[in-house]
Structure 1
Amino acid sequence: MKPGSPRIIELTEYQLATFKRDFIPESVAQKIHQNYAKEIEIEFPTHKTEDKWELKSKGRVGNIPITPGFHIIIHPKVPIANLFGMLEYADNLKIKFPQGSIQCQSLQESYERLANILAQKILERCRKGLYRDYLSKTERLASIRGRVDLRSALQKPWDVKLKCHYNQQTGDIEDNQILAWTLFIIGRSGLCRESVSSTVRKAFHALQGFVTLKPFKSEACIDRNYHRLNQDYQLLHALCRFFLDNTGPSHESGDREMLPFLIDMANLYEQFVAEWLKANTPKGFFVKQQHRVTHDQNYFDRIDLLLCDIATSKVQYVLDTKYKAPDKVGSDDRHQIVAYANALKCQNAILVYPQNLTQPLDIKNDDIRVRSLTFSLDSDLNEAGKTFLKSLLSNTLP
């Protein structure tokens, strides 16, 4: 470990890791327990743990700066290249890389690569000129501009300044404010080397003076209006969505604290499978995502995916993604997917896992065929998707 660099606690998602008692100060462990209980299970040293710390990630991967001197890095089980491929689908990152250019060895490298791409593209747009739009403004002016507020003028005839309503073209709009906020967030992550950080700072300074720094959530990047003048912003906002989606608020106060960067793998897997199916929908079908089923006025469910017949709009397959690798399907998962299928009068209920189960499921529950299928993340994603689709559309019963 380099002098002055933080001590790294390395974990892999869902895998138990142990550390000697003197490796983690109790004050650091308390912060993990108090602030990141949803992300990490932690057992304090006892006779039961053989006087060692036990930590396990609950399905998040990324970087958590606990203190300036202690960071947690959680590695994904998925190969980095495939994690990046999942992100491209899930966040619609329509980036065409040269062959082999994205062979990153770690999640941090992937983060850096995307941060550098975003900063470079923002600088490129700044050189061409930021997209500008007309915003409505109301001001009291010494000369008439736009529409005069007559009621205000009649109420105060002695006021030499008239209340005017007018439109002003400006670059200080949401399209650009989202870019500035995302660069600000990246700068606070501490995940980029100096070569990339300097590019991020350069892009941020290029926006300063033109754009107000305002906080945004990732939802601001979705369903925006693009046209001939701002078409290139679609990729910029997709990249911003990636960073805003996965950067959480710091548990410390103060502008100089580093921010945790965490990817929810279960959510990513669900989004990836959905987007892959939308892009590769079998002929004669269409995909519905997050379909709401209401049971009564106080209770409803959202089903991950439906595959429907184009001609009749009838639901042919109910699919629920499960980012875990048990030996067999749990009874709760089986009952849930059957309930979904019954609610929609569908005869095919599918549970989708990232790995083959030791005891795969393929049974009949009354008129419903219940199966566990695999959309693997271990090898080529497109080939894995084709294998999954072939199994999905199979009519062979056990």
Structure 2
Amino acid sequence: MKPESSRPIELTEYQLATFEQDFIPESVGDKIYMNYAKEIEIEFPNRKTKYQWHLKSKGRVGNIPITPEFHIAIRPKVSINNLFGMIDYAYNLKIKFPQGSIQCQSLQESYERLANILAQKILERCRKGLYRDYLSKTERLAYIRGRVDLRSALQKPWEVKLKCHYNEQTGDIEDNQILAWTLFIICRSGLCRESVSSTVRKAFHALQGCVTLKPFKSEACIDRNYHRLNQDYQILHALCRFFLDNTGPSHETGDREMLPFLIDMAKLYEQFVAEWLKANTPKGFEVESPYPVKYDKDYFDEIDLIIRDIETNEILYVLDTKYKAPDRVGSDDRHQIVAYANALNCQNAILIYPQDLTTRLDIKHGAIRVRSLTFSLDSDLNEAGKTFLTSLLPSTVSYW
């Protein structure tokens, strides 16, 4: 089942969409309500809704297969180019495209582009030879290999085969298994056109002969060890992390079911702002994200970002991203950032929003200055970042 062959229920994140009662079968509404209540706010036709369907995405964008006849396509509020730029930063992809390359017009095109890049890079690595490593194995052999288990041999002297401990060089290692599982997930997504799907299948088959197919979560792609023999795997695993982060389990079982592809925009915004700041904060400052905070012996939390002075090691700013656009800062957000600042003995607390607030916040809460600042997603991301840093650190950004 391909998305093109099913009927789309088109939404835009955080925007209410209405549909006539006969547009969506009740059975489809039931599946949405039962399986995707966390992602989609749905209200069935009733007198209050004037007998229309009301649907709203709760900050997710992507594609959700519901039945062979229906799928939900959720568009982002930000432009596709800026969404792609956020992904590029958030996952440290650092992908360079040829000048004049076609710009993505939809989320599906962005997905296809990244899937094609991953497949092509895996095929290139297969042609060079997959990275191999030594794995410890223990087997009973008719010949001596590696180290013989003498204790076992003495206990059972009649055994013809000896228990041996040895190291074997193999390509069936986690580095390559992550690649195979990600390609398998992409094949099942149903989001790629045949021209891209064929490349993905080709890369998967190139791995299939020597790599075991095992499931992995996105966390497996983080903090891996790279060196001169597998340095190019860093970009491969960054791409894998993107797909594994945003591809969920199907709501039904079976190899032929499509998989939902959903990007959590609040999480993406948080990752993007953190990585952009790490790459662009002036010298003398260090960005850490996320940063653990301990209120007492039983209660821990994580702050989105902190900025510290490298020379003194003092935490200068506590920052929290808020992917929403209210008229003013809510009391819950204000109390939360003040609690973070108090816990770290920091005098500057910053709430970051993707759009300007009608009423900006700049107040003193005891010794703590609490402000709302904007890291906009409406225009060029780098220019928006510079504007944000100018507001945050006005005396340190003259090098631009």
One fold, TM greater than 0.5?
yes
Secondary structure of the structure 1 residue equivalent to 2:292: strand
Q: CA deviation at 1:3?
A: 12
SS of residue in 2 equivalent to 1:177: helix
After superposition, give the CA deviation of every residue in 1:203-255 in whole Å (9 maximum; x if it has no partner). 11111110000000011111111111111111111110110010001110112
Counterpart of 1:193 in structure 2 is 193
State the alpha-carbon separation in 1 of the partners of residues 34 and 172 from structure 2.
39
The aligned amino acid for 1:376 is S
Change (3 A) 1:102 1:236: farther
CA–CA distance in structure 1, aligned partners of residues 344 and 297 of structure 2:
18
Pairing 1:59-70 to 2, within 5 Å after superposition? 59-70=59-70
Whole-Å Cα distance in 1 between the matches of residues 117 and 4 of structure 2?
29
1:392–1:4 distance in 2 versus 1, CA, 3 Å: closer
TM-score by length of 1: 0.97
Change (3 A) 1:74 1:4: closer
What displacement does 1:342 show? 1.7
1:243 corresponds in structure 2 to 243
* Aligned match of 2:167: 167
- Stretches of structure 2 lacking an aligned partner (at least 5 in a row): 396-400
What residue in structure 2 maps to residue 14 of structure 1? 14
CA distance in 2, matches of 1:338, 1:156: 69
Instruction: Report the counterpart of residue 259 of structure 1 in structure 2.
Output: 259
Pairwise CA distance, 1:4: 8.4
**Cα distance, 1:102 vs structure 2:** 5.4
Deviations 1:53-94 (A, max 9, x none): 000000010000011111001000011111111111111112
C-alpha distance in 2 between matches for 1:185 and 1:114: 13
The alignment status of 1:392 with 2:392, answered yes or no, reads yes
8 Å CA contact 1:8–1:72 kept in 2: the answer is yes
Q: CA deviation at 1:388?
A: 0.1
Tell me whether 1:181 sits opposite 2:164 in the alignment: no
Which secondary structure state, in structure 2, belongs to the residue aligned with residue 165 of structure 1? strand
Taking structure 2 as the reference length, what is the TM-score of the superposition? 0.96
Residue aligning to 2:76: 76
Structure 2 residue matching 1:67: 3-state secondary structure: coil
What amino acid maps onto 2:206 in structure 1?
Answer: A
Q: Distance in 1 between matches of 2:126 and 2:87?
A: 26
Q: Percent identity?
A: 84
Equivalent residue number for residue 157 of structure 2: 157
Structure 2 equivalent of residue 335 of structure 1: 335
Note if contact 1:135-1:168 (Cα within 8 Å) is conserved in structure 2: yes
**1:129–1:59 distance in 2 versus 1, CA, 3 Å:** same
Query: CA distance change for structure 1 residues 364 and 377 in 2, over 3 Å: closer, same or farther?
Result: same
Please show how residues 1-398 of structure 1 align to structure 2 within 5 Å: 5-101=5-101, 103-394=103-394
Equivalences, count: 394
Q: Deviations over 1:339-384 (max 9, x none)?
A: 2112222221110000001111111222221111000011111110
Residues 103-145 of structure 1 show CA distances to partners (whole Å, capped at 9, x for unaligned) of: 1000100000000011111111111111111111111111111
Question: Once structures 1 and 2 are overlaid, which stretch shifts more, 14-23 or 275-284?
Answer: 275-284
CA contact (8 A) 1:81 1:102 kept: no
C-alpha RMSD over aligned residues: 1.4
What amino acid sits opposite 2:375 in the alignment?
F
Following TM superposition, by how much is the alpha carbon of 1:312 offset from its aligned partner in structure 2, in angstroms?
1.2
**Distance in 1 of aligned mates of 2:36 and 2:66:** 9
